[in-house]
Structures are given as structure tokens and as C-alpha cells.
Amino acid sequence: MKRILSLACLVGLTSTLANAATLTTPPFPGLYVSTGSALCTATNIGTTDALVTFELFDDYGFVLASAKDYTLTPGRTVTGAVANLATTSPSFCRFSFSGRVRASFNYVGGGTSAMVIPATK
């Protein structure tokens, strides 16, 4: 009986891990930009709710901002982590999620300047 329960727990854990994913954006030169804002944004492209954790890192690998276990309904776009470039040096976003999600690092500068850096595996 113990073997059956152990096997059932292992199969359940494996299926949970198979549904979880992580995306990371390429680096943004946060040390060289001192105006505007950096945002970590995700969109649920699936047909069921997605659970997302947002993390915005600086050039040294420290977490500047985060939002954990945020539920995104299908079709919804949410900005989960934000930092001001006047006081910090954001470099990249990491997204951990279950479901189907597209994500990006977004830079919004003064005036009309903006940049979107898509996240990849």
C-alpha cells in the first residue's frame, strides 16, 4: 500500500511540474538609463486561469519588485512588477506560471519612447 501511495504522489508531483513554466527576458541596460519606468507584464493566452509570479531584477541579480501567485483570467493582461529608473537599475523580468502565458519587459520613457522585450524560455 505504501508503494502505491508513493507512486501516486510522484505521478501527481510530476504532472504539476510539467504544467509549470518559467520565462525570462533578455537584459535591458538599466545602469545606463535614468528616466522612465520598467514593467514586467504578462498576458494569459489560454482558455483557463493562469497563476503567475512576476519578478523584476536589477543588474546585480537582486529582486527589485515582485508579485507572487497572481491569477490571470483568460485574455487578461497584467503588469505585476514595476520600478522607476530614476532610483533603480532594472535589468530583466522572470515569470513563473502555470497555464499559457506570453510575457515581456516593458520600458516606458519620458515622452513617447517605449520598448517591449519579449520573454523566452
Q: Please tell me the total count of domains within the chain.
A: 1
**What domain range is 68 assigned to?**
21-118
Residue 48 lies in a domain: yes
Is this prediction's pTM over 0.85? no
| 89 vs 28: CA distance, rounded Å | 9
Better-scored residue on pLDDT, 2 or 20: 20
pLDDT digit string, tens, across residues 109-119: 977 789 999 99
pLDDT digit string, tens, across residues 35-79: 999 999 999 999 999 999 999 999 999 999 999 999 999 999 999
Residue 5 lies in a domain: no
Eight-class DSSP state of 45: -
| 121 vs 107: CA distance, rounded Å | 20
Residue 14 lies in a domain: no
Q: Find the CATH number of the domain harbouring 44.
A: 2.60.120
